[in-house]
Amino acid sequence: MDDELVGAGAVVDGGLDRREAAERARLLEVGEYEVHLDLTRLADCPSFSSRTKVGFTCGEPGASTWIDLVAERVTNVELNGVALEGDAVVRPGRIRLGPLLAENTLLVCAEHSAGSGATAGRGLTRTVDPSDGRVYVWSQCEAFEARRIFACFDQPDLKATFHLTVAVPSEWICVSNGISRAPDRGADTWRFSRTPRLPTYVFAVCAGPFHQVEGRYQDIPIRLHSRQSLRGQLDRSAEEIISLTQRGLAHYEEQFAVPYAGDSYDYVFLPEFGGAMENFGCVCWTDEVIFRSEPSSLTRQMRATVLLHEMAHMWFGNLVTMRWWDGLWLNESFADWAAFSALATIIGEGESWASFLYRRKRGGYRADQAPTTHAVNGAVPDIDAAEASVDMITYAKGASVLRQLAATIGEEAFRAALRRYFTRNAWRNTELSDLLAEVHAVSGLDAASWARGWLERSGTDLLTVHTEHKRGTYTAVSVRHRTPSSPPLDHQVRIGVYDDTGSGHLALRQQLTLRVNGDGAELAELAGAPVASLLLPNDDDRDFVKMRVDQDSTASLAQPWRLPFVLPRAVALTTLEDMMVDAQLPASAVVDAACGCVDVEDSPAQLEQVVSLAYDAATIWTPPEKRAESLGRIADACLRRLDGPGHSRQLTQSLRYGFTRAAVRTDHLDHVATLLARDADDHALRWLCLQRLVGACWIGDEKLDSEATRDPDPDAPARASIVRSARGTAGAKDLGLKLMFREHLPCRTQREWLSDAFWQPLQGELLAPYVHAYLAQMRMLLTEERYDALYAAAVAFPLTVAADDCVEGLADLGSDTRVPARIRKMLLDRWDLLRRATRTHRLALAGDSDAPTTCGNQ
């Protein structure tokens, strides 16, 4: 699964807690589901029906249990051939079963309603393409939503095989977890191969008049499906996606020593789908990754990473499945680690892990220092808690911890442990202890003790370098350890020793690996050595730790562009950012350091990430009265590089994106207008130009209408509405607020676009009243119990405009126990970010003269 759980509303219709799930799993073993879905009515209305036959055994004959089902109407229930009275056995979300025999057969027939709009992403969703009126249907079963499609024992440790048949309108294509046989002439029923033993949460069914492209991996068909209105875009993307899928499957089969177990590999690119989901052999994915125009290198890299992340789940999650949702972190952490490890074989170790640091790990550090932080491996008492636990600790910190484990025992030993784990536990359910046992077997590490420290406590340790020297020679070098909570962790960390070359660059003298425990560690190898320009802890980024350099290294740290490699540059720049977040450094120093890196980064993806970090520093972390100046420096740095010696088309594209976002002065805006007039085919850049020019009141709405007409993207009209909200007028903000709360935006990315457009960082005075209006609307949604709409609005939380009283209002809303746990956590995390930003603003306004402020290669 990618970052977003699609259905974010409160669990209703009978939840599920760990205690009762464990009791049901102790009692039952499920054999096979025979499921027939009739989706023919969905072409015209949201109704469909299910017929489910399930065989299961009971270890205690005579006992009772239940099966999960959410339906509009249950039309038939038969247990072991005996009809049960529906009114007597059905309660919200459950059908009571009993007394049970040793061998049982259950038949359940029901009528259902598919979700749409704000209820998309819970069970079966029906989407109408606004551009042509065609209907598409898709499932999302994680974490507890398969019960909305058919009767099932909806928990991860009651795995079973699935044999699915689906009736659809004759012009539709149907896709599920296995190879499909199209209906015979005159029929409308698709039949799918029987699956291996799978948990219910990776069951999938998608149907509609899809456009399809096919490739192969060995004898396995790879099929791509999109709505018809994106057929041209899918055709352009297909070769790259199929090639990456072939490379990914080959890589994982070699790394894990277990072949991919499916008989097909499908991607279904869907409107209104949030993120991506690793259904076995049938990955569902937002169709925003079917690029409408030539993507930037970073966008292409991000798509590749998500593809590899979901593919890794075919082994970790589908082949071997967690017993309960407290193992969700390991599913997602492993998939993140595996994805960036696989990406490293394509683009190189340094660039892959630098991208992980910029795009994922920074969020993990931030989450681990927020008031809502939690242990990586913590108790998950029920489904609500499972959904609330999904954050960047689940993904990024967990993946970083796995990387630290690999550094501790060695990469080959770690892979050997994984191979043993997959071989021994295929199609079973496991717990963390099963993986740790394999780690111990191959390495001898006391893995259980290691896990207690790294996985069962929250907070991020701090390592600080201390030096003593005389006449240019070190007399003592140590790394001191500070932990936010006990017990202190053991860190396997590398220290990069860098010297000034005399030509403005730093050269790597040596790398030292040491183990740092709660008492710290001495670098005896440096005693008597010449003083270095920079001692950079964690310069290979294999540890999850905050760090501070010694006084002699401060000036070099503030100039990360002087470092010779991409990953140490990323470590240095994000360390400066961490100091800014801790109010130890003004945001201007981070902007200056990033602008220096703009001059030297040759990877378009890395350059785009550096500029994005600089933009955050210049907006969120810079006081309003200094933002225009900081943004101007970013724009100037991008223009300087653009005007320099020849560079690739992709690098030019990344620089133009960065420049356009930061453009503030009249000469900048003139240049943006020129880009808009000149770049006819890069629609992503054109929308970015339009948003910047509308936000500066530089152009009128007629340009937006014209762009919505000429852009082949079927979602272009929605994008035009979003961009209108950037204009610095009350009328535009009133319409934007309505869009934020009363209209339906079909996916998370569009909600993020709206937040970026609406909360313009240089419109603070105009927007101040709208923060109060935002809070009032959020409270109204809470009163109306519109939790899905509340989640959508929370994504548009204001990060660049908030007065102190509004910050406290956001804290109050985040503390309201009526708010579903996942939304409450999101609000509290953003409140903490604003609170921290306010402290950094004060530092900038105080004019801390001791802070490094060098601005790079001018």
Could you tell me if 757 and 746 are in contact, meaning their C-beta atoms sit under 8 angstroms apart? no
512, containing H or E segment: strand 506-516
Query: Which of 590, 631, 483, 507 is closest to 843 using CA atoms?
Result: 590
Half-sphere exposure of 620 (CA within 13 A, CB side): 22
> Which residues are registered as beta bridge partners of 165?
36, 191
Exposed/middle/buried for 674, CB within 10 Å: 0-12, 13-18, 19+? exposed
Cis peptide before 624 (omega within 30 of 0): no
The structure tokens 């229930």 sit at 77
Q: What gap in Å lies between CA 520 and CA 490, rounded to an integer?
A: 9
Phi, psi of 625 (to 5 degrees): -70, -10
Q: Over 71-99, what HEC string results?
A: CCEEEEEEECCEECCHHHHEECCEEEECC
Q: What gap in Å lies between CA 48 and CA 150, rounded to an integer?
A: 11
**Roughly what angle, to the nearest 10 degrees, separates helices 604-619 and 349-356?**
20
Of 142, 310, 387, 601, the catalytic one is 310
The type of residue at 277 is: M
Q: What gap in Å lies between CA 170 and CA 165, rounded to an integer?
A: 14
SS3 843: helix
Q: What gap in Å lies between CA 17 and CA 328, rounded to an integer?
A: 15
Half-sphere exposure of 590 (CA within 13 A, CB side): 32
Would you state the torsion angle of the CA atoms of residues 95, 99, 104, 106, taken in this order, to the nearest 10 degrees?
-30
Which residues, in sequence order, are CB contacts of 663 under 8 Å at separation 6+? 631, 635, 669, 671, 672, 692
Exposed/middle/buried for 388, CB within 10 Å: 0-12, 13-18, 19+? buried
SS3 61: coil
Q: What gap in Å lies between CA 88 and CA 60, rounded to an integer?
A: 23
SS3 835: helix
Structure tokens, 259: 């072949």
Q: What gap in Å lies between CA 607 and CA 598, rounded to an integer?
A: 6
Q: What gap in Å lies between CA 717 and CA 738, rounded to an integer?
A: 16
> 387 an active-site residue?
no
Q: What gap in Å lies between CA 169 and CA 184, rounded to an integer?
A: 13
b/e map 109-142, b = 16+ CB within 10 Å: bbebbbbebbbbbbbbbbbebebeebbbbbbbbb
The type of residue at 554 is: T
Parallel, antiparallel, or unpaired: how do β-strands 123-128 and 82-83 relate?
unpaired
Could you tell me if 523 and 512 are in contact, meaning their C-beta atoms sit under 8 angstroms apart? yes
Structure tokens, 224: 């791509």
SS3 151: coil
Could you tell me if 726 and 695 are in contact, meaning their C-beta atoms sit under 8 angstroms apart? yes
- Share in percent of the chain as helix, strand, coil (round to 5): 45, 20, 30
Phi, psi of 511 (to 5 degrees): -125, 130
- Total residues belonging to the chain: 858
Vertex 432 angle, CA 429 and 438, to 5°:
95
Active site residues: 310
